[in-house]
Structure 1
Amino acid sequence: MPSSAIKNFFKRETPEEQPTWLILLGIVSIAIYAFSRTGFMDAAEISSAIATLTGFWGLYKYGKVVNSHILFRFIWVALIFQFISWALSVYVTPEWARETPQLDKITRWFTFIPLAWWVAQRKNAVWLIWGSAALGILISPWVTGEGIPEIIRGLNGERVFFGLRQAQHTSLFFGIILIGLLCFARKIMSINKWLTIPLVLTILYCLLVIYINSSRQAWLALLLTAFFMASYFTIKRFKRATGKQKFVTITLFLFGTISLGSLVATNETIVDRVMEERQSLSAIVTLDFDDVPYTSFGIRLHSWAAATDFIKEKPIFGWGSNGRTLVMKHTEWLPNWVQKDFGHLHNTYIEMLVNFGIVGLIFYLFMWVYMTKSLFKEIHRGTIERSIGYFYMSFLCFWSIMNCFEAYQNFWTGVFYFTVFMTGIQAKIWRAKYLI
């Protein structure tokens, strides 16, 4: 290839000069990845590779407008503190350190960056991506699970999860879809009023799966998210209401809250699942932590207590990417069967502190602060619809609570949905800020 051709090949151009076929290739490959990740791994691996590689090329060739974006600096910061954490581990506790640094543990969170570039190129591409991911999950009972027979067993009291790793991960997926459907219900119905029927049926389907899945953390997270969003809309309505309207607003809020609470408190299945932890809860209330039994929640509580010793010893940069495993394997007072069967701490924030210290946790929180600030800046400008903001707020609330009881951010399930969600959010921000 002549030098002039090589020079032109790597010459940076504007977003308007991107070939349509390349944009469509990127968007379609992301949609295939979003749909197939949970049930068709071969297709997901190929499509994700295409989407990521072409996305990086698109950013280099046509993405000069986002060159100085802080997200790229986030990647470098993540690489640096992960390397420092590993190096300190090798220096201080070489017998427990990994032979090589695992620099992908945090940086993989940012695979949404090249994907977001393609999605930002078309106005409605985000709905295709989010819809594809939702559809892939909705059909999972018949792809990774056993279909109707498994659903029937769930209705008969068996805890089912349709092959989506574990019950907690299934509840995460269907909970996020449920939240999305509720946030975008008005938008869906505005397309065609007949879409109301499949919308309602899909919402009921998600509720059914979450119910028979029997994940207490999902029930808690959804209830708190509903309360948070209902409080937000009540306060918003209250500020604009007149005297009589204010009374009606508060009355409806209290009535809805009490009704939902009563419905939950009188449901036999929910009560029975919660009461399974009554000994653990009683011990916690009396501050008698040593007597907390090793139930599902009890194991979590004991592992968190064990983690505090490790956090105190290396609070700044942590123990490296295998810190969570070290806690479970080298805490002598934990029972042998717990040490053998559990290799992590069931809490994203505690695992972050153990693995990468205060620096890692601050980095994680700052990432969310930055994304929140960027999104709502564009919403206030009127360039992004408010329903996206409602979805973001609901997702963040639900996600944050769920990660208190499971380290989703360290499993492919959490990374997958985090990537899909952030791809859509960042695409909306970039399109509003640079490409409209």
Structure 2
Amino acid sequence: MHGYKTSSHVKWLNIFWSTSTLAAISRINVRKNQSNRTVNSMISSINLDGWRQKNYWLGWLAISIYAFFWLIDLDISRAGESLFILCFVIAWFSEPDKHLKRHKIFILLLVFLGLQIGVYFFAAERFPEFSDSQVKAGRHMAKLFLCIAIAWWLKGSTRSVLYLLVVLCAGFFASLVFNSSILDWQLGLKGYRVDFSYKNAQHTSVYFGLSLFLGFFWLLHSVFIKASYSKTVLALIITVVSIIGVIITQTRAVWLAIPVTLFCVAIIVIYTSFKSGRFKLSKAKMTAILLGFMVAAGLGAVAFKPFIEKRFEEEERQVISSAIQGNMDDISYSSIGNRLHTWTYALEKIGERPLTGWGPQSRKPLIDEGPFPDWIKDMYGHFHNSYIEIALAYGLIGVLIFAVLTFCIIRGIVKLSKAKHDFLFLGLLSAFVFFAIVNFFESYLIFRTGMYFYILLGGMGLTFYLFDVDARDKRIS
């Protein structure tokens, strides 16, 4: 019996030992598998982050090409655009933040695309010979929503916005070197209207106007913070060259938009000074600023009176007088008269299809059907007003979509003021006010001038709507 007990104890000890050993081995294997999964997850995360980083920098390269070359070589700029769209699509699909990925701003894009599809079927049936060009013009209008992609890439960073502004301005002045000659500047200063081989003088004047505002507020910022001598001088050169460019391109809408914009900005500065005290302007200084503005405007009007008189000939003054009196039949087809006649006709056509419009390329056949002289029909294919163009193409629904998108952009720009980025706020706001005014007199949005402005500068404003102003960028250098 004793031997039996001993063998029984040994047996149970062996079973216990085997079970314990198996359990220990099992725990080791589980921990090993967990460790392997953790390591694999870390490696996957590192690989994904590295892949996202490469896509991020590739996107910045594409944006830089897009912004710099748009006036130098359009094909190169479009290649950058295609690459950037690809990078954005990849970034959107790999975005972990579901709230950002499904932001309500994308609803505007989806609604607009739906509107475009519906309008296309009507326009293709109504004007079948223009069906192909309807698609091309529709693609142009849809591209305006690329400002969302630009805003996404900037991530609310003021430094990124400043970088893109520098690239954009550098591209314009680089193109100016290629397009202009000393003879052009000499002819311009002698009173001839020059366009420096861009689309026409109206577009060239807008380029100078935008660079004027950006250079002017950069100059004010440089003086305010006592920046380096080289930066201050560069900002001064950009401002002076832009002023000369605005004068010799002789575009009335730009001449009107600049003082109106500066006056609006002066009011905003005074209001901000009273409300927050950030500008620390005394009543005497504010009075001096307003008087200085009025004196500068007066001296400018006197100095460049020959240019101004040339652009407001007797015929144009008669047109304005007849328009004020409501005598449309007495208005000739001058530059201003042509606009008044075509705007009146366009408003009638908008009234026929007020909600969804006629289609983006229907403007040309509508002009051909209009009560205009043949030479007007041959010469013009648009209505010289971006707001009328949108309403005519997509109706009040289209106008509302772009109004909401622009409102979001302006809200983003206003955030810069709240974050005390005052000069960047004033520069971007001035650019938008200026562009809003000139679009009353020319259809810039249906040309690449308006498209690039809205995509790039619109994206700069919209980024601060989608994201808060980056806390790391408290100062602008």
- TM-score tier by shorter-chain length is 0.7 to 0.9
Distance 1:59 1:116 in 2: 12
Q: CA RMSD in A?
A: 3.0
Q: Which residue of 1 aligns with 2:80?
A: 47
Query: Residues 121 and 435 of structure 1 are in contact (CA less than 8 Å); yes or no, is this contact kept in structure 2?
Result: no
Query: Amino acid of the residue matched to residue 327 of structure 1?
Result: L
Q: Which residue of 2 aligns with 1:116?
A: 151
Query: Amino acid of the residue matched to residue 341 of structure 2?
Result: H
- Cα offsets for 1:285-313 (capped at 9, x unmatched): 32212111211111111111111221121
Give the 3 Å change call, closer, same or farther, for CA 278–31 of structure 1 in structure 2. Answer: same
**CA offset at residue 409 of structure 1?**
0.7
Q: Which residue of 2 aligns with 1:87?
A: 121
Q: Is the aligned partner of 1:125 residue 2:160?
A: yes
Query: Amino acid of the residue matched to residue 133 of structure 1?
Result: L
The 5 A counterparts of 1:401-420 are 401-420=437-456
Q: Which residue of 2 aligns with 1:4?
A: none
Question: Residue 432 of structure 1: SS of its match in structure 2?
Answer: coil
Deviates more, 1:119-128 or 1:168-177: 119-128
**CA offset at residue 258 of structure 1?**
4.9
Deviates more, 1:370-379 or 1:352-361: 370-379
Q: Which residue of 2 aligns with 1:5?
A: none
Q: Is the aligned partner of 1:359 residue 2:392?
A: no
Distance 1:318 1:390 in 2: 35
Q: Which residue of 1 aligns with 2:322?
A: 283
Number of aligned residues: 420
Query: Residues 26 and 54 of structure 1 are in contact (CA less than 8 Å); yes or no, is this contact kept in structure 2?
Result: yes
Give the 3 Å change call, closer, same or farther, for CA 184–251 of structure 1 in structure 2. Answer: closer
- Cα offsets for 1:17-51 (capped at 9, x unmatched): 66433322211221122111111233222222212
Query: Amino acid of the residue matched to residue 94 of structure 2?
Result: K
Q: Is the aligned partner of 1:200 residue 2:236?
A: yes
Query: Residues 409 and 465 of structure 2 are in contact (CA less than 8 Å); yes or no, is this contact kept in structure 1?
Result: no
Q: Which residue of 2 aligns with 1:269?
A: 307
Distance 1:361 1:387 in 2: 30
Question: Residue 62 of structure 1: SS of its match in structure 2?
Answer: coil
Give the 3 Å change call, closer, same or farther, for CA 81–13 of structure 1 in structure 2. Answer: farther
Alignment counterpart, residue 182 of structure 2, candidates 139, 148, 158:
148
Query: Residues 14 and 64 of structure 1 are in contact (CA less than 8 Å); yes or no, is this contact kept in structure 2?
Result: no
- Cα offsets for 1:320-351 (capped at 9, x unmatched): 112321331110x2110001110000000111
Deviates more, 1:422-431 or 1:227-236: 422-431
Question: Residue 184 of structure 1: SS of its match in structure 2?
Answer: helix
Q: Is the aligned partner of 1:309 residue 2:348?
A: yes
Deviates more, 1:107-116 or 1:206-215: 107-116
TM-score under structure 2 length normalisation: 0.80
Give the 3 Å change call, closer, same or farther, for CA 59–239 of structure 1 in structure 2. Answer: closer
The 5 A counterparts of 1:117-266 are 117-120=152-155, 124-143=159-178, 145-188=179-222, 190=225, 191-238=227-274, 245-246=282-283, 249-250=286-287, 252-254=289-291, 256-261=293-298, 263-264=300-301
Query: Residues 140 and 162 of structure 1 are in contact (CA less than 8 Å); yes or no, is this contact kept in structure 2?
Result: no
Query: Residues 353 and 395 of structure 2 are in contact (CA less than 8 Å); yes or no, is this contact kept in structure 1?
Result: yes
Distance 1:63 1:298 in 2: 55
**CA offset at residue 16 of structure 1?**
6.5
**CA offset at residue 63 of structure 1?**
5.8
Alignment counterpart, residue 421 of structure 1, candidates 436, 457, 465:
457
**CA offset at residue 123 of structure 1?**
6.0
Query: Amino acid of the residue matched to residue 317 of structure 1?
Result: T
Query: Residues 78 and 106 of structure 1 are in contact (CA less than 8 Å); yes or no, is this contact kept in structure 2?
Result: no
Give the 3 Å change call, closer, same or farther, for CA 379–185 of structure 1 in structure 2. Answer: same
Give the 3 Å change call, closer, same or farther, for CA 395–22 of structure 1 in structure 2. Answer: same
Distance 2:84 2:235 in 1: 30
- Cα offsets for 1:127-159 (capped at 9, x unmatched): 22211111111122322x232221112112221
Q: Flag the structure with larger Rg.
A: 2
Deviates more, 1:95-104 or 1:188-197: 95-104
**CA offset at residue 195 of structure 1?**
1.6
The 5 A counterparts of 1:308-387 are 308-331=347-370, 333-377=371-415, 379-380=417-418, 382=419, 385-387=421-423
Q: Which runs of 5+ in 1 are unaligned?
A: 1-7
Distance 2:48 2:459 in 1: 18
**CA offset at residue 434 of structure 1?**
8.7
Q: Which residue of 2 aligns with 1:61?
A: 94
Question: Residue 263 of structure 2: SS of its match in structure 1?
Answer: helix
**CA offset at residue 353 of structure 1?**
1.4
Distance 2:110 2:86 in 1: 19
Query: Residues 280 and 298 of structure 1 are in contact (CA less than 8 Å); yes or no, is this contact kept in structure 2?
Result: yes
Give the 3 Å change call, closer, same or farther, for CA 63–270 of structure 1 in structure 2. Answer: farther
